[in-house]
Amino acid sequence: MTASQRAEDVRRLTKRLVLRGGAVVARGQLNRKPARCDLSPAPEGSGLQAIPGDKGLPILGHALGAATLPIEFLESRLETYGAVSWMRGFAMPIVLALGPEASQEVFANSDHVFSQRGQEFFSGRFFKRGLMFLDFEEHHFHRRIMQEAFNRERLSGYLHSMDTICRDAAARRDDELLVYPYLKRTLLDIATVAFMGDEPGPQSDLMSKAFTECLHAATAVVRFPVPGLRWWAGVRGRRTLEQYFHANIDARRNSGGDDLFAALCRARDEDGNQFTDDDAVNHMIFLMSAATDTSAAAATAALHQLALHPEWQGRVRAESAEISDGRLDLDALDRMQSLGMVINESMRLLAPVPAIFRKTLKDTSIQGYFVPADTMVVVAPLFNHYWPGLWSDPHAFDPERFSDARREDRSHRLAFVPFGAGAHKCIGMRFATVVVKVLIHHLLRDHRIEMRPGYTLEWDMTALPAPTDGFPVLIRRVSDSNKNMTVAT
């Protein structure tokens, strides 16, 4: 065994232990005794209530339990304290605003009280001035310009390269496949072509490493650069990305192209406003990261469900075979309704962005509870997707709940929020839906995926969800005569 294999084994083992440790923390650490609230009390006569809650473990608070077994953890919070409660995590008090009503107040943000500084705390250092970290008027100004790069016509242009790259990747894949690395690699190749207008190759590997370093740095425990640790690697990754985009910006402004980078460099809002060089670079760095790990998580979750449910896999394959034999277009993708329902149901069961953070700029309230200024507030899309009363049997995989006949996702405006809601709702939502469909369509059209007997997928939830072992599957060719069978044989 080589040193790097040994290091990999240790890494896996540590992750598993963290997951098991998290289970104990999530189930056992809820302190049901009344605790002194870390937040300042409601002003007298305000009529607002103090938020119930507890600290959790010394130093860590509840961060470990919340990150490792989030659904169980949030279920116990709801049961113990109700929809709004406080806890400690990352050495600060955090207010949980759970469920559709509480999250609606935060997303609606009618008094401009909930700032993106909450998101910035985790990843702002490495994705600074990305669209998601801007607030209010400035955010609105940038979003209007960026919107131009995401219209249907542009999407149709990006689809062309997605289709080619996914088809080639599916043709090249091995019979034993690690799903997550395969999807990440393919998504980065798509980003290289559709976003940067470059060719996939060694450059993609360099960029992939730099993005991963930035993403992992967001959840670093030691939040200053110590050589070899996550934060330090994130600083290095950010520098690599800035150098790459700055070196290419003049060419994109002058000669244009069909890629997103060119679109951003040239995009104007209705008043003719354009991005500066720094703006375009900052937006690209954030967009690349916003697009890849989220879409990889969504596609992995869907492929996992399809491997668990061969009847749905057969149905999706039959639909793919019927709808498209040649080049994909947006209309063909819209007609892949079974695949659409499977993707939605998989994102419901495992929201690719499980939690969304905000920081209060002034004293405010959520659901009648007092929330002081400068408090971190968390909304959990993950948990809206299990909220009592909105979904029938929420823990079950049941894509038909998204069918026209049932539309459980419409049981509340915020029942289904994998892409968030309000002013910061994902600008790449349509792009993401398209890319995840194209990836799965090409992988499953001619092949069946199976898991080894007894295999269980474990998710690492310490950053965006990712399988701890990459999710190994076996790939079997499906004969042409079997493609239209709705149940895989």
- Interface residues with ligand HEM (CB under 6 A) are 119, 131-132, 143, 287, 290-291, 294-295, 298, 352-353, 356, 418-420, 424, 426-428, 431-432
**CA separation, residue 219 to residues 89, 123, 222, 231, 294 (Å):** 12, 8, 9, 9, 16
C-alpha to C-alpha distance for 360 and 117, rounded to whole angstroms: 9
Q: How far is the CB of 386 from ligand HEM (least distance, A)?
A: 16
Distance of CA 370 to the CA centre of its chain: 30
Rounded Cα–Cα distance for residues 247 and 173 (Å)? 33
Return the residue nearest ligand HEM (CB atom): 428
Residue number, 132 or 366, with CB nearest to ligand HEM: 132
Least separation in angstroms between residue 344's CB and ligand HEM is 11
Judged by beta carbon, residue 70 or residue 314, the one nearer ligand HEM is 70
Specify the amino acid at residue 462: T
Least distance from ligand HEM to the Cβ atom of residue 24, Å: 29
3-state secondary structure of 96: strand
C-beta of 180 vs 419, nearer to ligand HEM: 419
Give 341 or 478: the residue with its C-beta nearer to ligand HEM: 341
- 162 or 249: CB nearest ligand HEM: 162
How far is the CA of 463 from the CAs of 187, 204, 281, 288, 329, in angstroms? 18, 22, 24, 16, 33
> Minimum Å distance from CB 61 to ligand HEM?
22
Least distance from C-beta 354 to ligand HEM, angstroms? 9
Cβ closer to ligand HEM: 82 or 422?
A: 422
Distance CA 9, CA 470 (A): 13
In the complex, what is the shortest distance from the CB of residue 178 to ligand HEM, in angstroms, rounded to a whole number? 20
Question: For 452, which DSSP code?
Answer: P
* Alpha helices for 69-200 (secondary structure H): 70-81, 99-108, 117-123, 136-147, 152-172, 179-190
Nearer Cβ to ligand HEM, position 56 or 89? Answer: 89
Of 299 and 478, CB closest to ligand HEM: 299
Helical pair 136-147 and 277-308, crossing angle rounded to 10 deg: 70
User: How far is 183 from 244, CA to CA, in rounded Å?
Assistant: 23
User: Which of residues 83 and 298 has its CB atom nearest to ligand HEM in the complex?
Assistant: 298
Beta carbon of residue 23, minimum distance to ligand HEM (angstroms, whole number): 25
Beta carbon of residue 64, minimum distance to ligand HEM (angstroms, whole number): 23
Q: Give CA separation, 336 vs 312, 340, 380, in Å.
A: 13, 6, 29
Phi-psi category of 235—alpha, beta or left, where left has phi over 0 and alpha has psi -120 to 50? alpha
Helix axes 202-217, 230-255, angle to 10 degrees: 130
Residue closer to ligand HEM (CB basis): 56 or 381: 381
3-state DSSP assignment of residue 95: strand
Tell me the closest approach of the beta carbon of residue 466 to ligand HEM, in angstroms. 13
Least gap, CB of 6 to ligand HEM (angstroms): 35
Residue with tokens 């915020």: 414
| Residue from 407, 427, 414 nearest 340 by CA | 407
Sign of CA dihedral 480, 484, 485, 489: positive
